[in-house]
Amino acid sequence: MARKSKKIYKTESGAVVHGVMAEFATPADFYHAAENVRDAGYTRWDSFSPFPVHGIDEAMGLPTPRLPLVAAVIGFTGAGLGYWMQQWMTAVDYPLVVQGKSYDAWEPRVPITFELGILFTAFAVLIGMFAFNKLPRHHHPLMKKERFLRVSDDRFIICVEAVDPRFDPSGTRRMLESLGGTNIEIVEE
């Protein structure tokens, strides 16, 4: 039933509306509000807290992240490259008899194969974390709000974006109010 919403909301001064944000006092209120926003059928919204509130991903109905799969694929690629590098260097490009052992023996290659697998996974995890989160990002409309900057300290904020098909400036605002949200503000793009 996802209908495309092309409607653009504007404030009286003519600025494009990014969304409506509301503040919640405690992690418990924040958590229950997130459950209710999810159940109200919103999809383009987000919540912000100074630490990951336990279980918030389920309360928001977020899908399982795909990062582990990406990390595993890149990690095994790294290990494979590590093995292939050693094979090529010691058995193909520069075959050298060491201790009379076979050029192709796999045993001495285990440590470096393992280390390179770990190294690739670590980079995949960090870069993948940024990529999935669409970071680094220079600016965000929310960051114009002084109140929002306090999330990094001790505030809990939910913001429903104007691009959400169910977004309605007054209705969304009323819903956030009814869930216990305070200091409700319009966020301009």
- Segment 119-158, which members bind other proteins (CB under 8 A)? 119, 121-123, 125-126, 128-130, 132-133, 135-140, 142-143, 146, 149-154
Q: Is residue 60 a contact point for other proteins (CB under 8 A)?
A: yes
Which residue type sits at 83?
Y
Give whichever of 8 and 118 is closer to other proteins, judged by the CB atom.
118
Please report, for residues 67, 122, 163, 168, the alpha-carbon distance to residue 3 in angstroms, rounded to integers and kept in the order given.
29, 40, 11, 14
Q: Is residue 34 a contact point for other proteins (CB under 8 A)?
A: yes
Position among 5, 114, 174, 177 found at the interface with other proteins (CB under 8 A) = 114
| Contact status, residue 177 vs residue 22, Cβ threshold 8 Å | yes
Min dist. Cβ of residue 137 to other proteins (A) = 4
Min dist. Cβ of residue 44 to other proteins (A) = 11
**Cα–chain-centroid distance for residue 48?**
12
Q: Is residue 25 a contact point for other proteins (CB under 8 A)?
A: no
Q: Is residue 74 a contact point for other proteins (CB under 8 A)?
A: no
Give whichever of 79 and 175 is closer to other proteins, judged by the CB atom.
79
Could you give the CA distance from residue 77 to residue 123 in angstroms, rounded to a whole number? Answer: 12
Burial track 3-40 (b if 16+ CB lie within 10 A, e otherwise): eeeeeebeeeeeeebbbbbbbbeeeebbbebbbbbbee
Size of the site for other proteins (CB under 8 A): 71
